Amino acid sequence: MKVSIRVLPAGRDLKVKVGANLREALIASGIALDSPCAGQGTCLKCQVKVAGVNQKLTAQEEEKLTEEELRDGWRLACQVTVEVPGAVSLPKIEALQAKVGFGLLGEEIPLLPNVRRRQFTLDKPALSDQRADWDCLADYLEGSEPGSVTAGLSLLQGISARLREQNFKGEAVMVGNNVAALDPPGSAAGVLGVAMDIGTTTLAVGLVDLDSGQVITLDAELNPQITFGADVISRILYMQESSEKRSQLQKELVKGLNQLLLRLCRNAGRARERIFEATVVGNTTMLHSLLGLDARHIAVAPYVGGLNRALCLPAEELGLQIHPRGRVHVLPSIASFVGADTVAVMLATRLSRADAPRLAIDIGTNGEVMLATPDGVFTASTAAGPAFEGGRIKYGMRAARGAVSSFQAVPSLDYTVIGGTVPRGICGSGLIDLVAELFRAGVLDCKGRMLLPSEAGSSLAAELTPRVRTRGESREFVIFQDGAAEVTITQQDVRELQLAKGAMRAGIELLMKEAGIGAGDLREILLSGVFGNYINRAKAVALGLIPPIPLERIHFIGGGAMDGALRALINLEERTRADQISVQVRHIELSGRPDFEETFLRHLALGE
Amino acid sequence: MKVSIRVLPAGRDLKVKVGANLREALIASGIALDSPCAGQGTCLKCQVKVAGVNQKLTAQEEEKLTEEELRDGWRLACQVTVEVPGAVSLPKIEALQAKVGFGLLGEEIPLLPNVRRRQFTLDKPALSDQRADWDCLADYLEGSEPGSVTAGLSLLQGISARLREQNFKGEAVMVGNNVAALDPPGSAAGVLGVAMDIGTTTLAVGLVDLDSGQVITLDAELNPQITFGADVISRILYMQESSEKRSQLQKELVKGLNQLLLRLCRNAGRARERIFEATVVGNTTMLHSLLGLDARHIAVAPYVGGLNRALCLPAEELGLQIHPRGRVHVLPSIASFVGADTVAVMLATRLSRADAPRLAIDIGTNGEVMLATPDGVFTASTAAGPAFEGGRIKYGMRAARGAVSSFQAVPSLDYTVIGGTVPRGICGSGLIDLVAELFRAGVLDCKGRMLLPSEAGSSLAAELTPRVRTRGESREFVIFQDGAAEVTITQQDVRELQLAKGAMRAGIELLMKEAGIGAGDLREILLSGVFGNYINRAKAVALGLIPPIPLERIHFIGGGAMDGALRALINLEERTRADQISVQVRHIELSGRPDFEETFLRHLALGE
């Protein structure tokens, strides 16, 4: 027997078998639920609010959830067995949304969009002027450039009725040289564009009024593909199993974007049909997945994808629900692991214009490193792994409610938790703080070994070493403990961070070597990426994650990729610049270099 | 109860109710059956061969069909009531197919097609060359023109697998600057194109090998829209009833073209998927219908359609079953009643290059008249009506088996019948002969009145006037009689021809007046159109259909429109020329002229 379960806020009705596991039912129906513990009830990431369905709490839930959470109706989807009809509210991903920032507001971008309005007043048909309707409009719009304006079939099919309704006057909405719509004269309907940043984890969108160039609103959502693998490699592995699976991931992604656009436009009180253009950035794999391209060769040497150039295509061909004659402009990528998101960061930071060496780092599963010098721009991709995003970390989690996001050991142990709740896990910035501070305090030695009280010599460590304990064969440091609830960092977690840090720092070092400069030559370091904003600069330097330069020369640039996508939406010259960047940049393939391993091993150690 | 009826040669199975009329069932299922008598069993045009279904002949069939036809299994579909399962063979439209002629063979057209092959050998991906697959191919094909080559999503989606299968070598099939296909190296598969002439009655197609420029084969078929109205006005009236009906006519047309293409390619042993481009000509209404455009304003003053310019679009958007990435190039029209077919005739006849006045006439329901002079080219459309194609003529029919196609009265009465059978009707050329000869013989006076023996003065008429009889209130001339079977031409038929001739001749006269020339200035007259080839020049002059010039200066140019479509397929410069023609030609709207009616009335009379 099946019962009906309404999923909120989407308002979708699922038919679910009685006895089914709620988490599995949600995932099976394509709803993105992050659940790294695979339904064991330990990661606490599949929290939902439940009405009806099954109100009996499991022991796991009673143990793991706080009183406040239980009172507010939070459950763990993995612990709920469907019994009766009901409703499930998915959490609003506030943390994700908060993370979408952009720096545009500080700088005026000249308005030169690809979407423009052109007013027209045509001569009415007469025996003395028998030009066909389209010919007459095209003549008008082309002026002194015959043949410069085009129209698609669907517009032509409606043009005769439309021109007569409007008494042969109105405004043509042009996307490039294509007439996409004919508005009545003096139409109040705006002309909108949307910038999209497609991340492995997060989809971010920004809505822009293309009449004014103003950003109306931003929003973000989990990439629904997340249920098919946490990182690009697992997505590629899934896609290459069959063309059906490749197509499935593409559809999930497009559906996710459409839902996000719907919410974005509803919240802004705008119509999706008034969006005439989308600019798209993202890592190379995500762009392949969006376009339905074969990504399997990205994952194996020599790491060559199907397409890095920019691509412009009809929104309808992708199934993107903007104006049916709207266009999608996908920005170019540089290499298989240096995508259009990196190009966008370079646009946003004007990195190509460096007159003194500047280093930019986009921190994520793949840390993209960019070094601009007067002699040119160099890029590399470092396989940092998922540690910075909470992957393979025992209590790792994204920067969401309950995450320890900063930590200090001296003068006294202190930490902050996102949302001010009890700690539930550790996000990337928290992890960096923890390792840097435990190293400074002597709980970790320079090789990253966690010291028991008997081994630690420092007096500082004396305050902290009692929190070091051994579980099984492994040591761990206890950050928080309240009954059964606890958050710890393990020896293995430290090793994971060392690997990530070593890979990223090695990439930076090799780029500087290639460009013939040292850390002292760097005018500035720019940090971007999903958690760039949360990093403590001093601790990142202390850890050795970034080269040692004065802290005032280290800057955060928020969601640089979204910034770049917005720029390309608002000003056509930015697209030309993106194309230039993508071909002029010198990409250094680290895996091809004999000096990589030695550099990597050297930077596994903590500190400089 | 329904029974199954197999329709041959299409091989389609219909489920038809027992008791249904076979003609109606065929038309209801979208099969084009010409039946101007609307199922009365008198026009004999719905002949089919029947096996099973119902073998009992009706009295009408026994009376109207010849012994030979009955022996061969011919029936009148309108007389057959479905009783049992069976099969119906539609006639092969030999006459239609024979009519598709073209003059290209006499002239070498330089090969400059829009579809070309480009061989390529790419560097294989390596750590030292990590360009993405498409980037690498595009770089190769573009050479010194970066950004000059494009590809659609479906090609990009398959490019990585395809290049690896072919070991990074092969041939790119380019349609314009778009890569439409990647063939293996040394592929033997040809690259084909198709030219299409979409007439109100007839669809004609020509298959071309674009490697050599050679025409492989031609074929033609009835326009399946014919069941929705015989002429453009009735099609427009049908289409404007609702958007569903507009869409229905479009689908019928595209289906008809696809079936014709299938047969064409089967007969030629070629694959439809190797056709990469189609050039399309046709009258303006048919092109509107093909594209799904609103044609209603074509039919009412000031006669303005939606689109006259050339249009290039993906074959998939039209549903045309050629290569899925093939393109369709629709040639430009001049005005609502001077379509791309006329432009094509002008291409084929090089009419725009006149150094001495040349007149070209495309004879059909709408007679398009073109006059090229050193000062420019003039066109007009004359509303000749359907008489030239057998419409509104009692025994009128198209130039098919059984049609009286030529006629002489002197020295003795003689006529020829297409297919050598007994006469069943009169086609356009036969009608012109009949009226011209009966006028010469004195059976018709110069006002077109049919004379009874008592009224006719001439001795020649004495031989013929006994064939003039009165039926009801109307006179008619008996051409053939064998028992109940007969073919006659009525007084009303003569009036219809006078109207058609008067309209066409008036158009010719007004164009010459506009250009400031007289008949004596004409270097030549070119006749084209579906029955242009069958006209007796001397009789056309005698009738006053065309201006009196020496017969050796009157030439037939066969299917000039197909010729022009083929030219545009084989040589790109012809498309530019077509665009120039469409804007440079001076179209004279006859309905807007005060001198039209007087000229028309003057030319109603027979003779000069």
- CATH number at A176 reads 3.10.20.880
CA–CA separation, A282 and A332 (whole Å): 10
CA–CA separation, B352 and B241 (whole Å): 39
- Tell me how many degrees the CA angle A123-A125-A131 measures, rounded to the nearest 5: 90
In the prediction, which pLDDT does B380 show? 94
CA–CA separation, A448 and A500 (whole Å): 13
Same-domain pairing of A43 and A141? no
Query: Which residues from chain A sit within 8 angstroms of residue B328, using beta carbons?
Result: none
Cβ pair A567, A113 in contact under 8 A:
no
Phi then psi for residue B93, to 5 deg, are: -85, 75
In the prediction, which pLDDT does B530 show? 56
Q: Is residue B142 part of a domain?
A: yes
| CB within 8 Å: A591 and B127 | yes
In the prediction, which pLDDT does A102 show? 42
In the prediction, which pLDDT does B90 show? 66
Same-domain pairing of A489 and A539? no
Same-domain pairing of B466 and B447? yes
In the prediction, which pLDDT does A259 show? 94
| CB within 8 Å: A156 and B296 | no
B87: enclosing H helix or E strand:
strand B86-89
Whichever domain contains B57, its CATH number is 3.10.20.30
Residue B36: cis peptide before it, omega within 30 degrees of 0 = no
| CB within 8 Å: B131 and A308 | yes
Same-domain pairing of A525 and A439? no
Nearest to B308 among A132, A291, A303 (CB): A132
Same-domain pairing of A403 and A544? no
For A322, left (φ over 0), alpha (ψ -120 to 50), or beta? beta
Chain A to chain B, count of Cβ pairs less than 8 Å apart?
140
Q: Any chain B CB within 8 A of the CB of A589?
A: yes
CA–CA separation, B364 and B391 (whole Å): 11
Q: How far is CA B160 from CA A301, B87, B137, B259, B394, in A?
A: 14, 49, 11, 34, 65
CA–CA separation, A372 and A377 (whole Å): 4
Same-domain pairing of A173 and A213? no
Nearest to A134 among B157, B158, B307 (CB): B307
CA–CA separation, B86 and B89 (whole Å): 10
Same-domain pairing of A397 and A379? no
Same-domain pairing of A464 and A428? yes
Residue B4 CB contacts under 8 Å (≥ 6 apart), including other chains: B13, B14, B15, B16, B85
Q: Is residue A558 part of a domain?
A: yes
Its ipTM equals 0.81
Q: Where are the alpha helices (DSSP H) in B441-536?
A: 459-464, 491-515
| CB within 8 Å: A306 and B128 | no
Cβ pair A273, A565 in contact under 8 A:
no
Query: Which residues from chain B sit within 8 angstroms of residue A160, using beta carbons?
Result: 293-294, 296-297, 305-306
| CB within 8 Å: B132 and A302 | no
Name residues of chain A where pLDDT drops below 70.
Answer: 8-12, 29-38, 90-108, 353, 365, 458-460, 529-534, 558-559
In the prediction, which pLDDT does B494 show? 96
Query: Which tokens is B544 given?
Result: 């006053």
CA–CA separation, A299 and A166 (whole Å): 54
Q: Which residue of B has its CA nearest to A150?
A: B311
| CB within 8 Å: A309 and B135 | yes
Concatenated DSSP letters for A355-423? SS-EEEEE-SSSEEEEEEETTEEEEEEE---GGGGTTT-TTB--SSTTEEEEEE-SSS-EEEEGGGS--
Query: Which residues from chain B sit within 8 angstroms of residue A589, using beta carbons?
Result: 127, 130
Q: Where are the alpha helices (DSSP H) in B75-206?
A: 94-99, 133-142, 153-165
Q: Any chain A CB within 8 A of the CB of B123?
A: no
Helix (H, G, I), strand (E, B) or coil at B481: strand
Helix (H, G, I), strand (E, B) or coil at B137: helix
Same-domain pairing of A174 and A295? no
Q: Which of B158, B183, B208 is the last residue of a domain?
A: B183
CA–CA separation, B336 and B304 (whole Å): 6
Q: Which of B418, B442, B475 is the last residue of a domain?
A: B475
In the prediction, which pLDDT does A93 show? 43
In the prediction, which pLDDT does A101 show? 41
User: Quick one: which of B541, B527, B308 has its CA closest to B440?
Assistant: B541
| Domain total in chain B | 5
Other CB atoms closer than 10 Å to residue A300's CB: what's the count? 10
Q: Is residue A109 part of a domain?
A: no
Length of chain A: 608
B470: enclosing H helix or E strand:
strand B468-471
> pLDDT means per 10 residues in chain B (608 residues)?
74 81 78 64 77 86 80 84 83 41 54 95 94 97 94 97 97 98 92 95 91 87 83 89 95 96 93 98 97 95 96 97 98 96 90 84 83 93 80 83 88 88 90 94 93 78 85 92 91 94 95 94 84 78 94 82 92 96 93 90 91
Q: Is residue B482 part of a domain?
A: no
Q: Where are the alpha helices (DSSP H) in B199-242?
A: 232-239
Q: Is residue A511 part of a domain?
A: yes
User: Quick one: which of B181, B292, B226 has its CA closest to B46?
Assistant: B226
In the prediction, which pLDDT does A472 show? 87
CA–CA separation, A8 and A87 (whole Å): 7
DSSP state of B110: P
Q: How far is CA B345 from CA A412, A435, B275, B350, B563, in A?
A: 93, 83, 24, 8, 7
DSSP state of B463: H
Report the predicted TM-score, pTM, of the whole model to 2 decimal places: 0.81
Q: How much of chain B is in helix, strand and coil states, percent to nearest 5?
A: 35, 25, 35
Whichever domain contains A531, its CATH number is 3.30.420.40
In the prediction, which pLDDT does B220 show? 84
Q: How far is CA B401 from CA A506, A604, B47, in A?
A: 87, 92, 11
Shortest distance, CA B133 to any CA of chain A (angstroms) = 5
Show the beta-strand stretches assigned E in B168-222. Answer: 169-175, 178-183, 192-198, 202-209, 214-222
CA–CA separation, B476 and B468 (whole Å): 6
Length of chain B: 608
Q: Which of A496, A519, A540 is the last residue of a domain?
A: A496
| Exposed e or buried b per residue across A196-216, where buried means at least 16 C-beta atoms within 10 angstroms of its C-beta | bbbbbbbbbbbbbbbeebebb
Q: Any chain B CB within 8 A of the CB of A592?
A: yes
Same-domain pairing of B549 and B584? yes
Q: Where are the alpha helices (DSSP H) in B190-279?
A: 232-239, 243-268
Q: Is residue B483 part of a domain?
A: no
- Tell me how many degrees the CA angle B194-B195-B196 measures, rounded to the nearest 5: 115
Query: Which tokens is B309 given?
Result: 């310019």
Instruction: Show the 3-state SS of B525-576.
Output: EEEECCCHHHCCHHHHHHHCCCCCCCHHHEEECCCHHHHHHHHHHHEHHHHH
Query: Which residues from chain B sit within 8 angstroms of residue A333, using beta carbons?
Result: 132
Nearest to B304 among A132, A156, A587 (CB): A132
Same-domain pairing of B321 and B349? no
Instruction: Show the 3-state SS of A442-482.
Output: CCECCCCCECCCCCCCCHHHHHHHHHEEEECCEEEEEEEEE
Cβ pair B163, B189 in contact under 8 A:
no
Q: Any chain B CB within 8 A of the CB of A336?
A: yes
In chain B the first and final C-alpha atoms are separated, in Å, by 63
Residue B411: cis peptide before it, omega within 30 degrees of 0 = yes
Residue whose tokens read 């400059």: B112
Q: Is residue B464 part of a domain?
A: yes
A494: enclosing H helix or E strand:
helix A491-515
Query: Which residues from chain B sit within 8 angstroms of residue A134, using beta carbons?
Result: 306-309
Q: Where are the alpha helices (DSSP H) in B324-475?
A: 340-349, 428-440, 459-464
Query: Which residues from chain A sit within 8 angstroms of residue B130, using beta carbons?
Result: 302-304, 335-336, 587, 589
Whichever domain contains A214, its CATH number is 3.30.420.480
Q: Is residue A344 part of a domain?
A: no
Same-domain pairing of B234 and B172? no
Cβ pair A439, A607 in contact under 8 A:
yes
Query: Which tokens is B117 given?
Result: 């092959």
Question: Residue B297: which domain range?
Answer: 192-330
Concatenated DSSP letters for A55-83? -PPPHHHHHHS-HHHHHTTEEEGGGPBP-
Q: Any chain A CB within 8 A of the CB of B159?
A: yes
In the prediction, which pLDDT does B362 show? 84
In chain A the first and final C-alpha atoms are separated, in Å, by 63
